[in-house]
Amino acid sequence: MRTIAHISDLHFGRIDPPLLDGLVADLAAHKPDLVVVSGDLTQRARGGQFDAAVAFLKRLPGPQLVIPGNHDVPMFNVFARAFAPTGGYRRHVSQDLQPVYRDDELIVVGLNSARSFTHKSGWLSAEQVANARTTFAAAGPGTFKVLVTHHPFIPPPREPDADVIRRGESYLPVLEEVGVDLLLAGHLHLAYHDDLRSHYKASRRSILSVQAGTATSTRRRGEPNAYNWIRTSPHLCTVSVRAWASGEPGGKPAAFQESLVTRYECGPDGWRPVKQVPVDAAAAVVTTGATTAG
């Protein structure tokens, strides 16, 4: 079993300050095997914003797998945007735009889906997909395979026309061939998850697609700040949304708390949610598109 803290859309430049210490404390208490950061570290790709994000990530446990998002590409500097869209990210955060984490149970591959030609949307190049294919193919049998992009493969249930990764269906043959089990993404600032087949009717493999809300920014979209606590094992995946709950005077202090736990089992028909527990229904509006059973 492995545990992944999946955080996303930090947006330094639009931070809600109390959340930073709250996230540090929560991750220090839970000690994940891996921290995944699925992009949008900054609001405007400015050097000071990258530096603040890096200083914050140093306060979180490791190992970490970090990729950029569309907000980590400059918006107003047209020259930088066209000729060095990830220059700031590579200078301040990491030169590695295809990070890989692997141990004897888990392999996680990150790919940069942010592009200079579009501010919001994103996609993957043929070269990126080919590289991911080679990396996943080298993993041992029984390894749980995870792909991380900033742009999600599936839309939220409440926004079926939302901005998902472009050309998504063209990546499916490779994801199916190498046996990807789980996709992690952010971008829409909404926490939701479902089987990939809910959106791509032609897909032949059941792959779980999990999106995280914004962990630390004020750019909330009707949901509290949150991150995902994910437990993986070969045929099981539990997604716990840990949402920020404001404190009460004289009562509970403000903290990230478990707000919805969904347990998926992978059987002959693919991933299926077998149990969903709203720990505190008032704390979060978090949805899965799937029907729950049991």
Q: Which of the 8 DSSP states describes residue 194?
A: E
Shortest spacing between CB 188 and Fe ion, in angstroms: 8
Residue 72 near Fe ion by CB under 5 A: no
Contact between 70 and 85 under an 8 Å Cβ cutoff? The reply is: no
Helix (H) / strand (E) containing 294: none
Q: Which of 6-14, 221-229, 255-263, 279-287 is the region at the interface with Fe ion (rule: CB under 5 A)?
A: 6-14
Q: Which of 7-15, 90-98, 171-179, 236-244 is the region at the interface with Fe ion (rule: CB under 5 A)?
A: 7-15
Half-sphere exposure of 232 (CA within 13 A, CB side): 29
Shortest spacing between CB 120 and Fe ion, in angstroms: 7
Pairing of β 208-211 and β 182-185: parallel
**CA nearest neighbour of 68 among 108, 48, 96, 100:** 96
Answer for which of 70, 128, 143, 257 binds Fe ion (CB under 5 A) is 70
Per DSSP, the residues of 73-91 read: S-SS-HHHHHH-TTHHHHH
Shortest spacing between CB 163 and Fe ion, in angstroms: 9
The amino acid sitting at 251 is: G
Residue 69 near Fe ion by CB under 5 A: yes
Q: How far apart are CA 11 and CA 9, in angstroms?
A: 5
Q: How far apart are CA 201 and CA 163, in angstroms?
A: 18
Residue 223 near Fe ion by CB under 5 A: no
Answer for which of 14, 36, 40, 194 binds Fe ion (CB under 5 A) is 40
User: Between 89 and 271, whose beta carbon lies closer to Fe ion?
Assistant: 89
Answer for which of 2, 4, 6, 9 binds Fe ion (CB under 5 A) is 9
Query: One symbol per residue from 177 to 216: x for binding Fe ion (CB under 5 A), - otherwise; what is it?
Result: ----------x-----------------------------
**CA nearest neighbour of 215 among 49, 4, 10, 50:** 10
Q: Which of 63-71, 80-88, 136-144, 277-285 is the region at the interface with Fe ion (rule: CB under 5 A)?
A: 63-71
Contact between 203 and 174 under an 8 Å Cβ cutoff? The reply is: no
User: Between 40 and 181, whose beta carbon lies closer to Fe ion?
Assistant: 40
Contact residues for Fe ion, defined by CB under 5 A: 9, 40, 69-70, 187
